[in-house]
Amino acid sequence: MTKDHTDQDHIPAVLPFQTARVIFALVMREMDTAHGRSPGGYLWMILEPVAGIALMSYIFGLFLRTPPLGPSFPLFYATGLLPFGLYSDLMSKTSQAIRFSRPLLTYPRVTFVDAIIARFLLAVLTQVIVYYIIISGIIVIQGIDVILEYEYIAGAIFLGAFLGLSVGSVNCLLFSFFPVWERIWAVLNRPLVIISGTFYLYDGLPDSVKEIAWYNPIFHVVGLMRAGIYPEYVIDYVSIPYVLIWCAVPMAFGLYFLRVYHKKIMNEL
């Protein structure tokens, strides 16, 4: 009786430590597999958005004298493309979490939640570093005088990351049961970068279009990010509670049914 009681007392202290070790091991595996073996590695995480920002700045610079906000084309497009890239990367990584970590999920200590958390943490850390390097690089190179509103920037990162986690959780479930949905989603997702305010301002849209655009949660995330870089930018249209609903409801739905059906998903993959 004494031995059993002692063992039970140790269980709550051991499990969190074991979970942390599992997640850390999955993060290290993700680092090595996702970018560590490709030429250039994590350098491409910076070069790809930089190339996109440079291309947009050049194209729109041919037709516009000044960007819709502020004096710098690269900074303006960075404040749109980086939040969208954060959402898109988190959504993609979460959607593929079970498929990516399937060989390890056969071990009793590794759960699908561990796989999702590991991919989420590494993607967020990587994207925050990319944010810092690109935004600070543009400001320093172009000598831009800015007053950063860090609470807005942090809010945009938080909401963009959890929005990606939320949508990715649902897609992780749907991709497993309905493989055709992965192709359909790829088609539906392509125009999202254009209709999410990455290249223009919400204020510049016609009123009839604003009413529709408002329901796109990424529009709110991009607006919050721009308010963090441009203190003069008014974001009356941004609704944080609305984005939080998008973060909470699909994620709860996706994680609940993944918990119920993850063994079936593992057997059918």
Is residue 223 within 8 Å of 155, Cβ to Cβ? Answer: no
pLDDT of residue 161: 95
**176 or 212, higher pLDDT:** 212
Structure token digits, residue 254 = 């996706």
pLDDT band at 169; cut points 50, 70, 90: very high
pLDDT of residue 106: 72
Distance of alpha carbon 44 from alpha carbon 35, whole angstroms: 9
Radius of gyration (C-alpha) of the chain in whole angstroms: 21
- Relative orientation angle of helices 112-142 and 150-177, to the nearest 10 degrees: 140
Average pLDDT value for residue range 134-146: 92
The closest of 98, 118, 151 to 257, measured between CA atoms, is 98
Least confident of 106-115, 128-137, 228-237: 106-115
Distance of alpha carbon 221 from alpha carbon 80, whole angstroms: 9
Query: What pLDDT, in 10s, does the model give residues 100-111?
Result: 877 777 777 778
Q: Is pLDDT at 3 greater than 50 in this prediction?
A: no
* Average pLDDT along the chain: 85
Q: In this structure, is the dihedral angle defined by the CA atoms of residues 87, 91, 97 and 100, taken in order, positive or negative?
A: negative
Is residue 253 within 8 Å of 238, Cβ to Cβ? Answer: no
Exposed / middle / buried, residue 22 (Cβ in 10 Å: 0-12, 13-18, 19+): buried
pLDDT band at 33; cut points 50, 70, 90: confident
Average pLDDT value for residue range 14-30: 72
Query: What pLDDT, in 10s, does the model give residues 36-88?
Result: 555 566 677 778 888 888 888 888 888 888 899 988 999 999 999 999 999 99
Is residue 169 within 8 Å of 250, Cβ to Cβ? Answer: yes
% of the chain beyond a pLDDT of 90: 51
Is residue 121 within 8 Å of 106, Cβ to Cβ? Answer: no
pLDDT of residue 34: 65
Is residue 113 within 8 Å of 193, Cβ to Cβ? Answer: no
Q: C-alpha angle with apex 38: 33 to 42, nearest 5 degrees?
A: 80
Is residue 49 within 8 Å of 187, Cβ to Cβ? Answer: no
Least confident of 105-109, 175-179, 242-246, 265-269: 265-269
Q: Is pLDDT at 6 greater than 90 in this prediction?
A: no
Most confident of 51-55, 120-124, 160-164: 160-164
Structure token digits, residue 207 = 């009123």
Distance of alpha carbon 43 from alpha carbon 150, whole angstroms: 26
Average pLDDT value for residue range 13-42: 67
Distance of alpha carbon 92 from alpha carbon 119, whole angstroms: 10
Exposed / middle / buried, residue 23 (Cβ in 10 Å: 0-12, 13-18, 19+): buried
Average pLDDT value for residue range 258-265: 80
